[in-house]
Amino acid sequence: MTDAVVDGKLEAVKQATKYVKETENVAEKYSAMTVSKNSDMNMNVGELQSAAFTAVPTLKPIKKIQFANAEDKQEFQKYPTKAGRRSLSRSISQSSTDSYSSAASYSDSSDDETSPRDKAQANSKGSSDFCVKNVKQAEFGRREIEIAEQDMSALISLRKRAQAEKPLAGAKIVGCTHITAQTAVLIETLVALGAQCRWTACNIYSTQNEVAAALAETGVPVFAWKGESEDDFWWCIDRCVNKEGWQANMILDDGGDLTHWVYKKYPSVFKKAQGIVEESVTGVHRLYQLSKAGKLCVPAMNVNDSVTKQKFDNLYCCRESILDGLKRTTDVMFGGKQVVVCGYGEVGKGCCSALKAMGAIVCITEIDPICALQGCMDGFRVVKLNEVIRQMDIVITCTGNKNVVTRDQLDRIKNGCIVCNMGHSNTEIDVASLRSPELTWERVRSQVDHVIWPDGKRVILLAEGRLLNLSCSTVPTFVLSITATTQALALIELFNAPEGRYKQDVYLLPKKMDEYVASLHMPNFDAHLTELSDEQAKYMGLNKNGPFKPNYYRY
């Protein structure tokens, strides 16, 4: 050991000794002060010393873990390591604060590994005509539904106004939508209006298990759970349709899968249906194909292109939920990120608006010159995906088409790029081509996968290319109230329409109904409409009560 090192250590010892002596002197000084002033101060020596020496490390009392019940304590004691206990105690402490949404759904870990198809379940009334993850979650689902009802006042108002008349008495509705708290409010409204309903999910990741359980508990046959396989998905649709002694006469669809299944497998049911209501671009496209081929033998209502769906659900809902979905899954910061949005329809407009406001550098791709020109006027550069794919940090599809992002483009994408879809179908990103031997899939968290190339490049794929917002986050309840009210009115219109009003074709929702849906939501904003005078109405050639715009008007 060198002299310099020895001298250094001696100096350190001296400094430490000096520090201890100074500390003792200060302590004696404050102790004396405390004793002398004890008559007019309610503070003891220990408290004053604690206040005086906040900079000096002290031993803190050990906090005891609070257990909700004896079972939690017993389970905690099974974990001998600190890491194991820390993980368990964190899960216990969060159990009362977790949000029961599609992104953080309540689950009973004891039966997570068992497929709902293999479980025998019954609700409190003894009915087993359903298949959900765990019917015991019904109480949590009921709370979710009650929260949703608070922001769906227009749909609740429609329920109250029409409940006595029962306009859907005799309707047997088979439905295939996202099963969330908001759609549960719609389903229960249809039941209150006299309909019998059987329901399944249109997306394998968007079902809120606790909401499905709540519906099953009330007696609605529901066949859905979060994380279904492809086989489960079609099995659930079939169980929903194929019920002995019960035949659907109305179809409410989101994406066209249910309609396609009934058309292919149950043609007699399809031919006898009184109407179909469809709310997605993909499903409407399928209906128009059937109509063009002369195979659509029932009237269908295109809710997707109604003003209240296009301008509110597609635009405003996606404007908020795109950020929610990306944040929950990746924790990405948007400022300065290079983003390409494929498609500048209403969904694309909502996504671009939100991302631009957060500081992202956004460009778009389009096939339609009108939408492309709108994008230019809104300040977005219109590009070809092939030309910019290497520079992008985030790629978002929202076209309703297939193979919008191909394997060749994914091969050229940069490391760490986030790829996701805001359209209904999982066909927009060529995910199937990524399931090849040379690529490795690594699950990062729920609905988030790293797809790893042989050179180590990682692409972050969200929801396996399925609908991002309803698979990975939630959507604004108020906007869904608008869509749900539109769907309910479309079902009422088709079911009660006199024979001959609607032929075997695809129709838009009547303008008067669009306006009625909008008017039901006005009180939420304390908004007051101006009324036309008789003279003004005559001058414009309008009825004072509407409709106020011709069918060809573009909002």
Sheet containing 222-223: order of strands: 222-223, 196-201, 172-177, 250-253, 275-278, 300-302, 506-508
* DSSP states along 316-346: IIHHHHHHHHHHHHH----TT-EEEEE--SH
Dihedral, 230, 232, 234, 239 alpha carbons, nearest 10 = 180
Using the Cα atoms of residue 377, residue 396, residue 303 and residue 479 in order, give the sign of their dihedral: negative
Residue 400: predicted pLDDT: 87
Q: What is the largest CA-CA distance in the chain?
A: 108
Q: What are phi and psi of 207, to 5 degrees?
A: -70, 135
Query: Which residue type is seen at 322?
Result: I
- Peptide bond connecting 547 to the previous residue in cis, omega within 30 degrees of 0: yes
pLDDT at 40: 43
What per-residue confidence (pLDDT) applies to 251?
A: 98
358 closest CA partner among 335, 337, 380: 335
- pLDDT computed for residue 146 by the predictor: 96
- pLDDT value of residue 24: 52
Residues of the chain short of pLDDT 50, as ranges, are 5-6, 20, 23, 26-27, 29-65, 67-68, 75-76, 78-111
Cα–Cα distance between 224 and 235 in angstroms, integer? 10
Tell me the sheet residues that pair with 405.
429
Q: Are 423 and 282 in contact (CB under 8 A)?
A: yes
What is the rounded distance in angstroms from the CA atom of residue 80 to the CA atom of residue 90?
Answer: 15
CB 278 within 8 A of CB 301: yes
Q: What is the pLDDT of residue 19?
A: 53
The two three-digit tokens of residue 101, written as one number: 């949404």
Q: Which amino acid would we find at residue 266? A: Y
- Write out the two tokens for 478: 């108020």
What is the Cα–Cα distance from 202 to 174, expressed in whole angstroms?
12
Strand partners, 252: 175, 277
Distance of CA 260 to the CA centre of its chain: 25
This prediction's pTM: 0.75
d(CA 179, CA 237): 13
